[in-house]
Amino acid sequence: MRRTILIIHPGALGDVLLSLPALRGLRGRYPSHEVGVVTGGRVGNLLRACDEVEEVFPLESDALASLFAGRESSVSPPLHDWLVRCDLAVCWMTDSDHQLCSRLRELGVSRVIQRSPLSSVCGTTHQSDRVMETVRDVVPTGDYGWRLLVPDRVVAAGKARLVGLGILGNRSIVAVHPGSGSRHKCCAPTLLAGVVAWLQANDACPLVLGGPADDALIARFCKACEKPPPVLQQLDLLSVAGVLAYVDLFIGHDSGLTHLAAALHLPTVVLFGPTDPRRWAPRGSHVTVLTGEGCRCHGWNAVQACVDQPCLQIPVERLIQACERALRQRGTVLCGIED
């Protein structure tokens, strides 16, 4: 049987996607090995379907918790078999008492690298660079030009969903995600509603995408729209990726769905406010980052108490210009907008 690598990453979707350059680098360093990942089931299933990893050990099945248990029998047979054949385990998380590292070695892992990319000892700024820094001894450089490739069957299903909404045709499709992991990272609904009105006036098809915790924000956003666009909500990540394969532009905040759109190399306009784009923004020439004033809040408690959100006060004209520019670069010209 083939030898294995295990990646442990308990982070959210955006964090995991920012680690893919390092993961791709590890795959290149160990081309004959199978790669398994301990992470959330939703993002793990996405990575497996897109051929980024061969096996997923979901956090929801207590895969990580079992490694901290003192009994070998607590580890599921599939994970135990993986560890017996494992030449390298990379743990992108804190392990202050080294309990996890010790258990992995006891279970047969030849080499363990443990370091959280959130650690203050990291010398680089961007999260992708910080992740790469943790494996620099193994992988001199990562694959920063990667693109997430969605299976054809998933793309076909995405097309069918759009046909069902009646929005496929010769018009540009623009996906808008009004939410994020925290409402404090989201602009006022009226800003995105202004862009939606501009898109509709120029014969484009805006489409609202929603994540698991976006119900309230989507309701506020649709209420702010004079003509609410169709909404796709509560889809699994792979289905969202299939829909995005047919989209011409994505507009969102610092969120997992924004990172997914950027990972698919979809033209992406992202609004950043209290979080630092130098650390967390997706990378690439297809990504445009917009911010308001510099965030004056010191700490997340101050962010949560902030009412005016000057860091997210972005003029609608500026956002429209960024969207128009992104569509032109893609070769898409909106009806009524002349060169």
In tens, the pLDDT along 11-44 reads: 999 999 999 999 999 999 999 999 999 999 999 9
Which pair of structure tokens corresponds to residue 123? 């010398």
Average pLDDT in the 207-226 region?
A: 91
Query: Both 228 and 307 in a single domain?
Result: yes
Q: What angle do CA 251, 261, 166 make, to 5 degrees?
A: 70
Q: CATH number of the domain that 242 lies in?
A: 3.40.50.2000
- Specify if 325 maps to a domain: yes
First-to-final CA distance of the chain:
59
**pLDDT score, position 240:** 97
Nearest partner of 76 among 96, 93, 60, judged by Cα:
60
- Specify if 334 maps to a domain: no
Nearest partner of 101 among 67, 135, 78, judged by Cα:
67
Query: Both 101 and 191 in a single domain?
Result: no
For residue 85, the enclosing domain spans: 4-134
What are 173's strand-pairing partners?
Answer: 205
Query: Both 25 and 109 in a single domain?
Result: yes
**What is the value of pTM for the model shown?**
0.94
Query: Both 122 and 171 in a single domain?
Result: no
3-state secondary structure of 80: helix
Least confident of 126-135, 204-213, 270-279: 204-213
Helix (H) or strand (E) holding 272: strand 268-272
Percent of the chain with pLDDT over 90: 75
Query: Both 261 and 189 in a single domain?
Result: yes
